[in-house]
Amino acid sequence: MSIIIDQHTKVLIQGITGNEGAFHTRQMVEYGTDVVGGVTPGKGSQKFEGIPVFNTVKAAVDATGANASAIFVPPPFAADAILEAVEAGIEVVVCLTEGIPTIDMITVRHYMKGRKTILIGPNTPGIISPGKCKIGVMAGYIHKEGSIGIISRSGTLTYEVVDQLTKRGIGQSTCVGIGGDPVIGHKYVDLLEMFENDKDTDAIVIIGEIGGQAEEQAAEYFKEYMKKPVVAFIAGVTAPPGRRMGHAGAIVSGGVGDAATKIRTLEAAGITVVKNPAEIGQTVISVIRRCK
């Protein structure tokens, strides 16, 4: 089993005819993702390598029954692309665009209140349920179908953790890159709840970084509601306060969001925190053995 996406997911690509959209569409199709259509305004009725292209998301949904969307649209237009997908009734929107103005995402956040659409990102590598469906840019070949859920703010560290687990014969149920921007869609807490309720996920790995309080909120949720074990790693231990490191959301300011505080909070909640990313794979194995 998996969360959010599976072999029945029907995917649209918003921006399918652009360089990024075209390249990663091919990769998703090669992985086995059911890409049923694309959206590029002004190019409706055309086809991209056999995939029908539509002028609007609504037209694409009506024609194909798509229930998920991957957005490869330039930053000035990406927020509108999200809103269009939500308005068309898309259930899962994965926005890979980096550099969307924060004010635009605040508008998106307010618009989505009370709606059922799941938003992953923006500034995310995407989501993958190994062996079933991939939406985004994740390297499918390093993943293995299994029972470990992964939630991460860092694409590169996600690949490192997945590679460690796969080489040890430990597969993943679903891997989600939540995005590194200050304003994003689904957060750790939302996804922890899903993994906790997924009968085929045995443990969860959280890959966090400095900035914000999402990891602290995850710790509170874990302590209050979870029974499944969680292993965490926080990047940015040596980052100087006030300087953005990597992602737009990775900045320590006002005494909030530093790595040391996050680590203390996670450990106090009972989460196993790994200090060296090279040890995450073996730590997950050890935690699973202890829980059996």
Report the catalytic residues: 247
Torsion sign across C-alpha atoms 256, 229, 124, 53: negative
With beta carbons less than 8 A apart as the criterion, state whether 201 and 149 touch.
yes
- Measured distance CA(46)–CA(137) in Å, rounded: 24
**Can you give 105-151 as a three-state secondary structure string?**
HHHHHHHHCCCCCEEECCCCCEEEECCCEEEECCCHHHCCEEEEEEE
Q: Residue 232: name the closest of 198, 202, 259 by CA.
A: 259
- Output the DSSP codes for 14-45: ETTTSHHHHHHHHHHHHHT-EEEEEE-TT-TT
* Cβ atoms within 10 Å, residue 226: 18
What size, in residues, is the chain? 292
With beta carbons less than 8 A apart as the criterion, state whether 33 and 57 touch.
no
Q: Residue 60: name the closest of 129, 12, 123, 17 by CA.
A: 12
Contacts 24+ apart (CB under 8 A), 16-19: 16/40, 16/48, 16/51, 16/53, 16/72, 17/43, 17/46, 17/48, 17/53, 18/72, 18/73
